[in-house]
Structure 1
Amino acid sequence: MVGMAKFDLRLCEVIDHEDEFIAEAAGHLAAAGGKRFRPLLTLLAAELGEGINDQVVDAAVGVELTHLASLYHDDVMDEAELRRGVQSANVRYGNAVSILVGDLLFGTASSVIADLGPEAVKVQAATFVRLCSGQIRDERTPGVDVDPIDYYLGVLADKTGSLISTAAWYGSTFGGASPEAVAAVTEYAEKVGMVFQLADDLLDISSDADVSGKTPGTDLREGKATLPVLLARASSDPADARLQELLAGPIADADEVAEAVTLLRAHDAMDAAQAHTDQVADEARALLASIGEGPVIDALVALVDGVASRSA
């Protein structure tokens, strides 16, 4: 894809730095690869208009830089050891350098986006606020008067949906799509981000490590209240007492993690969480239908289908 080749060249160009150590640290995670999901969406959304141009490529770079910067910070917070199959930046360079490199990449993203005009800068700033807000709220528990499921879905929208939504807005806007198409694909993209994270929630419980490469119960060990967990906690069935006891917080014991996974896999909460994931995916498809038909719409439909099918 020509657009991705231009994106890769531009990304390397803006990450580079006159200080060799800074250049290496800033390019560490970019060099490790990754799905490039957000820039791909930016480039694809541009095809709803007149197609890819230099502004679209820069927008895709800005989005990916923002995502990369968040990963440097996330790894420090999570004390991660690996990222994208390589040593995490915090292990390789230390926490202080990792945080500062993340800040440097956020600054670089802002510089790239600034060349796209004041509206793009405002969108970038609003996205950054949502990313940080979602992360802060994710570190806290909802108040007693707040519905925990609504709270969690709001966190997902901010942490995951916001930047994916912005990727689509940039691509469609700078690609010259109609205002109606821009609005629809932007809302579609936020829902795709939600589906992606909801599918991850389910995979953490249902996945086979030999097939997915992901160890089941990781979220349970960390005490994360994902959608299946929240739904199981809300059950009024006395038969769920043991499961609810296990789900009260982080699970340190490996046997108890395995027990919780087994109980959750058989619980109605999994079907309910899958139904909600499917519903959000259907809402995303309906938004695309409002734009029209064609190969670009087909590709966007295939994208949400692929994200949703990960949990099915």
Structure 2
Amino acid sequence: MTVVGPFGLSVRDQTLETDVQAGLADVEEGLIEATKSDVPFITDAARHLVRAGGKRFRPLLVMLGAQFGDPYAPGVVPSAVVVELTHLATLYHDDVMDQADVRRGVPSANANWGNSVAVLTGDFLFSRASHMLADLGPDAVRIQAEAFERLVTGQILETAGPQAEQDPIDHYLDVIAGKTGSLVAVACRFGAMMAGAEESHVSVLTQYGERMGVAFQLADDVLDIASDSAESGKTPGTDLREGIATLPVLHLRARAAHPDATAEDRRLCALLDGDLTDDGRHAEALAGLRAHPALEQARRDTVRYAHEAREMLAPLPECTAKAALSGLCDSVVHRAG
């Protein structure tokens, strides 16, 4: 058994491992080339998060999806670069909105250069992704545009919050399906589509990616509460400090609103309603959530979405790529655990 990439995918087939590793190496070269500007300052800012590393989860899914067709087809690597550039651009914007100081274990772009430069650098990455898309054909442009619309819609819905009659947990799951699931689904779709896979296989992989994206984000929600900064690359409780209600918090609030709520449910919920920019209060809230059943409920939800993603793979032919995609479901569960 070997391990491919920082996400920790176990691969048992040497040919698949070689293909995936070679593809990811080409993606890295593509990212460096795509973030090069005639202005050295822009190059430094655009490459800031590229150099910081990352799991390259979406390019990995492109490579695995391509295994159901011709993995060496010319559009495979460029489509992976497009997806990762889009993802990186959203990180620049997210860090501005969240006022984050750390990303991938290094100072965020906004911490280094200020909000305006971070936003504009994200826009620069979007423009480079669009330029590459134009060479992949109108279908690719349309698919990316639809996914980007969903991504932005998800961000707007998160900012606006749920409507009065809407369950906050249902609203949140809709948000992350747009913000995260849409682009992960595109990664799987592009890989299979660019490789010339059968249309039915492209459809299956797209649906798998949608559920995998939600599971992946829910695992991040758990990590934001349960991990240390060395594991997640972010300051623990960043979302908590910024008042972003991730799934563990939403489960806590649902419990606190129930007639059978415990005194601890209500106490911890009241703590979260206070000023979490205070380090002591933040630390107390973080410790409380780590010990609360709401965190375990969020873990169970993560497992459920990962299981649904695995079930989506059933119609695909048995092969090492299918086994690897199934293995990613195990990796997400382990990540949340």
TM-score by length of 2: 0.85
Q: Which residue of 2 aligns with 1:180?
A: 200
Q: Which residue of 1 aligns with 2:10?
A: none
**Deviation readout 1:48-69 (Å, 9 max, x if unpaired):** 1121322011101111111111
Q: Which residue of 2 aligns with 1:289?
A: 314
Aligned length: 312
Assess, with a 3 A threshold, how the Cα gap between structure 1 residues 38 and 21 changes in structure 2: closer, same or farther.
same
Verify: 1:276 aligned to 2:301, yes or no: yes
Classify the secondary structure of the residue corresponding to 1:290: coil
**Deviation readout 1:134-156 (Å, 9 max, x if unpaired):** 12222222121111011000111
Deviation at residue 110 of structure 1 after TM alignment: 0.8
Q: Tell me, yes or no, if the aligned pair for 2:102 and 2:233 is still in contact at 8 Å.
A: no
The structure 1 residue matched to 2:148, chosen from 128, 134, 139, is 128
Q: Which residue of 1 aligns with 2:3?
A: none
Once the two structures are overlaid, the 10-residue window that deviates more, 49-58 or 7-16, is 7-16
Q: Tell me, yes or no, if the aligned pair for 1:199 and 1:308 is still in contact at 8 Å.
A: yes
Which residues of 2 match residues 31-180 of structure 1 at below 5 A? 31-180=51-200
**Deviation readout 1:134-182 (Å, 9 max, x if unpaired):** 1222222212111101100011111111111111110011111111111
CA distance in 1 between partners of 2:235 and 2:34 (Å): 36
CA distance in 1 between partners of 2:145 and 2:270 (Å): 42
CA distance in 2 between partners of 1:2 and 1:211 (Å): 26
User: Partner amino acid for 1:162?
Assistant: S
RMSD: 2.1
Q: Which residue of 2 aligns with 1:304?
A: 329
Identity of aligned residues (%): 51
Q: Tell me, yes or no, if the aligned pair for 1:222 and 1:250 is still in contact at 8 Å.
A: no
Q: Tell me, yes or no, if the aligned pair for 1:233 and 1:247 is still in contact at 8 Å.
A: no
Q: Tell me, yes or no, if the aligned pair for 2:253 and 2:269 is still in contact at 8 Å.
A: yes
**Deviation readout 1:109-135 (Å, 9 max, x if unpaired):** 011011111111011111111121112
Assess, with a 3 A threshold, how the Cα gap between structure 1 residues 301 and 268 changes in structure 2: closer, same or farther.
same
CA distance in 2 between partners of 1:93 and 1:35 (Å): 24
CA distance in 2 between partners of 1:219 and 1:49 (Å): 40
Structure 2: give runs of 5+ residues left out of the alignment. Answer: 1-20
Verify: 1:10 aligned to 2:30, yes or no: yes
Classify the secondary structure of the residue corresponding to 1:129: helix
Q: Which residue of 2 aligns with 1:244?
A: 269
User: Partner amino acid for 1:298?
Assistant: A
Once the two structures are overlaid, the 10-residue window that deviates more, 93-102 or 164-173, is 93-102
Q: Tell me, yes or no, if the aligned pair for 1:207 and 1:214 is still in contact at 8 Å.
A: no
Once the two structures are overlaid, the 10-residue window that deviates more, 169-178 or 219-228, is 219-228
Verify: 1:29 aligned to 2:52, yes or no: no
Classify the secondary structure of the residue corresponding to 2:75: helix
Once the two structures are overlaid, the 10-residue window that deviates more, 40-49 or 245-254, is 245-254
CA distance in 2 between partners of 1:272 and 1:15 (Å): 40
CA distance in 2 between partners of 1:101 and 1:159 (Å): 19
Deviation at residue 214 of structure 1 after TM alignment: 5.8
Classify the secondary structure of the residue corresponding to 1:139: helix
The structure 1 residue matched to 2:238, chosen from 195, 218, 224, is 218
Once the two structures are overlaid, the 10-residue window that deviates more, 220-229 or 244-253, is 244-253
Assess, with a 3 A threshold, how the Cα gap between structure 1 residues 209 and 173 changes in structure 2: closer, same or farther.
closer
Q: Tell me, yes or no, if the aligned pair for 1:113 and 1:121 is still in contact at 8 Å.
A: yes
Structure 1: give runs of 5+ residues left out of the alignment. Answer: none
Deviation at residue 249 of structure 1 after TM alignment: 5.4
Deviation at residue 229 of structure 1 after TM alignment: 1.5
Classify the secondary structure of the residue corresponding to 1:34: coil
